[in-house]
Amino acid sequence: MGIIRIGAWPLLLALVAPAICLGQEAGSTGEGAAMPSSSPPTSNAPSASSAPAAIVPGASLPGTAVPFPELTGGAGLTSLPAAYTNYGVSAGLGETDNVKLSESDRKAQTLAATNLFFDLIRSGSHLDLDAVGNFSDTDYLEGAYSNQVLGRFDGLADLSLWEHHFKWLVRDDYGDSQINVLQSLTPVNLQRVNIFSTGPELTLEPTLTSFVQLQGLYSRNTWQNDPFSGNTEMGSFTAGHEISAASSISLVGLVEQERFDNTNVNLDYQVREYYAHYAAKYARTRLDLQAGLAQANDTGSWTSSPLVRLSFARSLTPYSTVSLAGGREYSNAMGSFASLDSGATGGVPIGAAPQTTGNALRTYGNVSWAYQRLRTGINLTGGWEREGYDVQSKFNYSLSDIGLSLRRQLSPRLSASIMATVDRGQYGNQGFTNNYGTAGAGLVYRPGSWVVIYGRYDHQFRNSSGLARNYGYDENRIFVMVGYYPHSSGTGLPREMGGSGFQ
């Protein structure tokens, strides 16, 4: 993905929101974003070629701000406008028949929730901003848990100090992560995580079609409960050539150093990447390919592995798009958390439990198909990944998932949605397997231009074996919410309502 662009007034919100939430969590790409950038991705600032980290399906939240995971902006490859504003608030009541997500200690509970989401893009002559947030405040009215605020925030500020040549980047990724991979995902099994990154980027153009980029980033990684906090320092060099207005090729060298506050638990190490990068963006096709060599010294000596990252998207018709991503790279808990997205069921994503900050060799593949025409939207996704650790091989695991969401506009004011996901995580060296599933359906009714009433039913389950066999459960949850969703300034319709009218 090119650098995500976001104008000046949301900057304070983008940078202060995570600090406020710690006291108690970037999905948009505007027209201002260029074609796929030649800037190298880092573990704390992943590109679109990076597959998202594992998402625990049990994290489905009551009455999430975006009620259903509907397609946005059609199925084509068009971007959101350079100036885009979308936000909304909602409140309502719900009921669950298993608030503790327990097989043996089922307890019903009435829930009250208040939700907030925002999606802001501003592109200016000197400052580009992108801020995306989704938060849910839940009260457990019979006292099963104390008040719980969960959320995800991703923000990026891009300050141009020398137009087209020198800029300063500020990025923040804030949210929640599971603590214990064996236990159910309840409020007592969550921790807050914040990854703050900042640094300069210099671009020089020796000729009209050539470019040289130098980038340096410093990141502070903060984990609320785990002893994983530390710093990441990254430097990269890129030399490239613009083949045409729509494509470029470059050579990239990158060095990333991981340093941790607690070196009794964590091992400081360095990762290096050397690769060729080809990027192209045409009317119906986007392609980003990186291939080369990756090296790491977490074992005490340098080891090498082939490096491949591929991201491909194509509009098959005016109504459908297929996307593919896959590769082989070094990865860690910090990069996985920063690249987390909401998956097929939408809502607030929760990071998988980080059992180690060690360096892992990650092999992955993902595919998605999106269709939207007139009153119907379909989104189908599937993925697989495997992570292997040279130093702590007991944490090796593999994950696979599949997700489906359907939407149908029943009338100008009424729409219906169905969604489902199934995830399977295998932790062979630790002796257990987790199977998660979530299925839900709901209705959205719009009595007025900006008022939304929606109801949602979710059923989720967990079947586990081995060490986790006593943590299986199933739960039924229903919520009714009333929301205020003003029209988006850039598109005329709230993003979560599907981006197209009734036809």
First vs last C-alpha separation in the chain? 33
User: Of all helices (H) and strands (E), which one includes residue 267?
Assistant: none
Residues 304-331 pLDDT 10s: 999 999 999 999 999 999 999 999 999 9
* Tokens 């009551």 -> residue: 62
Q: Rounded CA gap, 113 and 297, in Å?
A: 47
pLDDT-based confidence at 80, cuts 50/70/90? low
Residue 501 has pLDDT above 60, yes or no: no
Summarize pLDDT for 255-299 with one digit per residue, the tens: 999 999 999 999 999 999 999 999 999 989 999 999 999 999 999
Q: What is the number of alpha carbons within 13 Å of residue 429 lying toward its C-beta?
A: 11
CB contact at 8 A, 483 and 457: no
Parallel, antiparallel or unpaired: strands 350-351 and 166-178: parallel
| Model confidence pLDDT, tens digit, residues 352-411 | 899 999 999 999 999 999 999 989 999 999 999 999 999 999 999 999 999 999 999 999
The 3-class SS string of 185-203 reads: CCHHHEEEEEEEEEEEEEE
| Domain ranges (residues) in the chain | 11-497
Name the burial class of residue 104, with classes exposed (0-12), middle (13-18) and buried (19+) by CB atoms within 10 angstroms of its CB. Answer: exposed
Residue 134: predicted pLDDT: 87
Residue 351 confidence (pLDDT): 87
Counting Cβ atoms within 10 Å, is residue 8 exposed (0-12), middle (13-18) or buried (19+)?
middle
> Is 1's pLDDT higher than 70?
no
Give the integer Cα–Cα distance in Å for 180 and 355.
Answer: 8
pLDDT at 346: 58
Average pLDDT over residues 44-65: 31
Return the higher-pLDDT residue of 49 and 290. Answer: 290
Looking at the domain that runs over 11-497, which CATH code has it been given? 2.40.170
Q: Mapped to the 3 state alphabet, what secondary structure does 363-379 carry? A: EEEEEEEEEEECCEEEE
* Averaged pLDDT score across all residues of the chain: 81
